[in-house]
A and B are shown apart, each in its own frame.
Chain A
């Protein structure tokens, strides 16, 4: 379970003034829940995820994961429990290293890295089985440097790497945004499969409202650093993209001007 209390983050913007990117966010996500996060550009979605992962320190508020207050933990310490996939397919893997080396790095998440061999025969067999499920042929390319893979293959690999140790929390920040529509759907299907198979507690940011409703079991919308909409269950099940847009307009009492959001 993830509990955010009064989480607040500001950035200095020069001239002594600050920009409040995340403002007094309170959010509780029960274990195993899959939450999709939407909102216009600059709404604070990435900042929220970065606060949870420890890339940024909050100005105020606390973060609790499975009953432990991790607010003061450094990024690499939290990473033992939090899996992440970034928007840029280049960010989630080490390009100069091979597929199997990347998987070995991921498998050691949260463990002490020893002087034992990174890729053993037993591990290689496990990686083969894991990759075979993707049906991308990656199981035959264990010794290929990741830089030689396509964006979609690389992002699928990132997703496998982020989830293979079944972290307590999975953070996905527009992880399909850089892919072509067909590949994006494949990666989404994979996301759905691993999340449900492992029962992962998940936060997924997307600009695609359709995906936001299609995936997961709860949707929150952010605006100017705050959560302005939070729907789940039967209410969400009956929702269409235009319902979602309408609800947003009603809550805020203003028109949405973000084209990406409208077209999503």
Chain B
């Protein structure tokens, strides 16, 4: 593990940041625990890889991956809203089905993209050949999509989507079909996740049916880590947190490997990171409380508290 891998971590952090934006949309905005991600991420990779191998221009193949990811999200949405299957179960079912779908699309468990055109070779061909090419492309895509998502969530439609996650009863009383909003949100989210899959396939040079494994935890870890870092008081801060969280997560993994953890230990490292980020507010509070006030048992009567506080100053 060398320092040059640090750049790779940054690149991956930004690429997976697109996935984190998708997870932010379902998990935070729509308040929907969506595991479709585990299937739509490799779906995006599979679609992009197979189309590219078949001669489709990489950009078109990537857009096709986005479209199919949206379909996958919409399926989960339909199962949840029309068939009344709980969100978690509906998304597990879609994810499970997608495993077979992805194998069908690829025809085998792994499709290599060696010596195939990708969005990167296209950029080079267009004259943009630079050592930081991937980093800049991923940064542009991730932050561009962040701004687009922020803008969308500020539109009339976007406000209705946010209200659906916040208070479905209320938004229905203003004439919004919450079923449609749920389906829309899941479609957009999985479109983003699928895009991340398509980009990762081209970045690492292959699509693999197993590459979705653990993706939901990666997304959640990013969002939760980001929220601990940037208080998500507005949508813009929430999406920024998701992106920064994703980069931070990759850096944490990088340093964990450098510190001597084996790649097989990464799952427990991830779990530890999420637990730490989740408990950060509680930890901060209990530390803060300890500093401000004496322990409850030793707390004197009201009047004397303010007196002793005054003495401290």
Contact = CB atoms under 8 A, between A and B. Distances in A.
Interface of A: 53, 74-77, 79-80, 82-84, 86, 90-97, 101, 104-106, 108-110, 113-119, 145, 161-162
Given A76-B175, A97-B162, A105-B163, A114 B170 contact: no
B100 interface: no
A104 B159 contact: yes
A79 B173 contact: yes
Given A105-B163, A108-B174, A145-B233, 10 more contacts: A75-B172, A79-B172, A79-B173, A86-B169, A94-B163, A97-B159, A104-B159, A108-B175, A109-B175, A116-B155
B167 A114 contact: no
B174 A101 contact: no
Interface string B69-88: 00000000000000000000
B1 to A, nearest CB: 41
12 contacts: A74-B177, A77-B175, A79-B173, A91-B170, A93-B167, A94-B163, A104-B159, A105-B174, A113-B160, A118-B155, A118-B159, A145-B233
B167 A91 contact: yes
Contacts of B163: 94, 97, 105
Contacts of B176: 76, 79, 113
B175 A110 contact: yes
B166 interface: yes
Contacts of B159: 97, 101, 104-105, 113, 118
A-B residue pairs, 4 tightest by C-beta: A79-B175, A94-B166, A113-B156, A118-B159
Interface of B: 152, 154-160, 162-163, 166-167, 169-178, 233
B173 A53 contact: yes
A75 B174 CA distance: 10
Given A93-B167, A94-B167, A97-B163, A79 B174 contact: yes
B170 A92 contact: yes
Contacts of A84: 173
Question: Which of B158, B170, B176 gathers most chain A CB within 10 Å?
Answer: B170
A80 B175 contact: yes
Contacts of B156: 104, 108, 113-118
Nearest to A96: B166
A207 to B, nearest CB: 22
Contacts of A79: 172-176
A261 B312 CA distance: 54
B169 A91 contact: yes
Question: Which of A75, A145, A162 gathers most chain B CB within 10 Å?
Answer: A75
B174 A115 contact: no
A53 B175 CA distance: 11
Contacts of B157: 113-115
A220 to B, nearest CB: 23
Question: Which of B159, B172, B174, B177 gathers most chain A CB within 10 Å?
Answer: B174
Contact of A94 (B170, B175, B233): B170
A106 B174 contact: yes
Question: Which of A93, A94, A114 gathers most chain B CB within 10 Å?
Answer: A94
Contacts of A109: 174-175
Nearest to B169: A91
A238 to B, nearest CB: 37
A97 B233 CA distance: 10
A92 B173 CA distance: 8
A91 B175 CA distance: 15
Contacts of B172: 75-76, 79
A167 to B, nearest CB: 10
Nearest to B155: A115
Contacts of B174: 79, 105-106, 108-109, 161
Nearest to A110: B175
A198 B169 CA distance: 25
B178 A76 contact: yes
A195 B282 CA distance: 46
Nearest to B176: A76
A108 to B, nearest CB: 5
